[in-house]
Amino acid sequence: MPFALFVGTAIGLSFMGAVDINLLVGIGILAILTGAFLTRDKGTYWETVFEFMGSKTAMTATLLWLIVGVYGNILKEGHIVEGLIWAAHQLHINATGFTLVVFLFSGLFAISTGSGFGTISAMSLTLFPAGIALGAAPTLLGGAILSGAALGDSIAPVSDTAVIAATTQEYADGKGCADIGGTVKKRLPLVLTASVVALIAYGIAGGFHITTSITVLDNTSEHPQGLALLIPTLVVILLSFRKINIFIALAVGLAVAVGIGLTLNLFTLSSLICVENGKVNGAIVEGIGGMANICILLMVVVSLSGLIIRSGGMDGIINNLNAHFIRSSKSAELTIFSLVAVAGILIAAVNTIANICVAPFVNSIGKQHGLHPYRRATLLATVICTFPFVLPYGGCVLLLQKGIEASGCGIGIQATDVFFTAFYPWALLAVMLVVCLTGYQRDFDKEKKHHE
């Protein structure tokens, strides 16, 4: 009942376009309090709430998000967006080429910062009006921004999607969960395949858009040194692929980012943290503050999922799925694919919330049917980055609209305009469906031993 109350409210708010993280935290707490009146053993009930709220899953994700919040804010403070704009200017590209660049640069920014919403906000204010000046199609530009944000969210080791997908998928023996670097490396070929398909699609679609515009890019917001802040992201990715602890990888990435930023005068120490009029400000403080509410929401939702597990509700749901739908590893994967897709459709306002809600079910089904945590994390992290990035009532599309309006470029788009032009989410959905149907690498991904 508590979990159903929370998810039902989240779905309702999503369709109304009125999702607020703080409100969802309040609803989650209300759901927990409501559950306390429905149980006879209140002592065990509250022990379960606090046990899962302070679980390794919740605490690992919380600490990672706080660090990632600081990391992403430092990169933005260091003019990484302006660096990407400078690179686009130097390439002297036409409208079709610029649409491809928007997709790639949006993806790079999302991979660097780990923020799909941050990418959409930044690129709709900068690259979208630049593309309009070059004569690119507004619907393709909007779709390219959404596609790049989805690309980064689905593969970046510093994204909340990667954190949730890895830290919620446990080994069958209960000894630990999947490591982020391993899960990212596992889904890299699939993400690259979808990216190539999207690039081809944008190239073909751009060719049908005829333009005579010869407007050049405005160079007032260029900052070429900002490109240097792609280096710390590369460092984090390489260290993660080598299975270096993600906290160590992020610490090294932070040190490299600060070192580069200070050396190239991209920012000052006071812009990172300072005290003004008795208040502490700066990119570091803002980065932590920006992640605080989602961290609290995660702990609340993990507690709600813990109540489902301990009450036997999770087993009941999974047993029904096993009895009526799941007959093999293939049907288990298709069930996971469907559950994640439905979660993304119903809670499209913020795919992070959909991710958190469906992750326990993915973990339970996968463990029962011997799917490796890497395999489960791959399905979760990819499929959850599809529908929330294309649906007209989704938070990503609505944020794109607001960013375009704020850019002052004089051209707007409707929420339905980018449904079919966000090529990457659709390509990724098709790739993952094929993976489930064909069993690509399924035998390799069977969980036969711990920490291969």
Q: Is the pLDDT of residue 277 over 80?
A: yes
Taken in order 68, 73, 79, 85, is the CA torsion positive or negative? positive
Check whether 449 has a pLDDT greater than 50. Answer: no
How does residue 452 score in pLDDT terms, banded at 50, 70 and 90?
very low
User: What are the sequence ranges of the domains in the chain?
Assistant: 54-438
Retrieve residue 229's tokens. 């802040």
* Rg of the chain (C-alpha set): 22
What average pLDDT does this structure show over 310-331? 83
* 73 pLDDT higher than 60: yes
pLDDT tens for residues 99-112?
A: 898 899 889 888 88
Around 50, how many Cα atoms within 13 Å sit in the side-chain half-sphere?
Answer: 5
The pLDDT assigned to 221 comes to 55
List the single range of 38-47, 50-59, 324-333, 377-386 with lowest mean pLDDT: 50-59
The span from the CA of 228 to the CA of 233, in Å, is 10
**What is the residue-wise DSSP string for 136-158?**
--HHHHHHHHHHHHHHHHHH-TT
Report the share of the chain in percent with pLDDT over 90.
29
The residue with greater pLDDT, 115 or 330, is: 330
DSSP 301-340: HHHHHHHHHHHTHHHHHHHHHHHHT--SHHHHHHHHHHHH
For residue 158, count CB atoms less than 10 angstroms from its CB and return exposed for 0-12, middle for 13-18, buried for 19 or more: buried
Does 220 score more than 50 pLDDT? no
At 300, is the pLDDT very low, low, confident or very high (cuts 50, 70, 90)?
confident
Query: How confident is residue 69, by pLDDT bands cut at 50, 70 and 90?
Result: confident
Greatest distance between any 2 Cα atoms in the chain: 73
Q: Count other Cβ atoms within 10 Å, centred on residue 38.
A: 9
Compare 210 and 181 and report the one with higher pLDDT: 181
For residues 302-313, average pLDDT: 83
DSSP conformation letters of 3-39: HHHHHHHHHHHHHHT---HHHHHHHHHHHHHHHHTT-
Residue 450 has pLDDT above 70, yes or no: no
Q: What is the mean pLDDT of residues 168-176?
A: 84
Cβ-based neighbours of 122, under 8 Å, separated by 6 or more? 76, 81, 109
Q: 291, exposed or middle or buried, with CB in 10 Å at 0-12, 13-18, 19+?
A: buried
Q: State which H helix or E strand residue 66 sits in.
A: helix 56-77
Identity of the amino acid at 36? A
Q: What is the pLDDT of residue 17?
A: 64
**Is the sign of the CA dihedral 202, 388, 342, 355 positive or negative?**
positive
Cα(341)–Cα(436) distance, integer angstroms: 13
- Model confidence at 143, in pLDDT bands (50, 70, 90)? very high
| Mean predicted lDDT score pLDDT of the chain | 84
User: With 80 as the cut, is the pLDDT of residue 214 above it?
Assistant: no
What is the C-alpha separation between 312 and 320, in angstroms, rounded?
Answer: 12
pTM score of the predicted model: 0.76
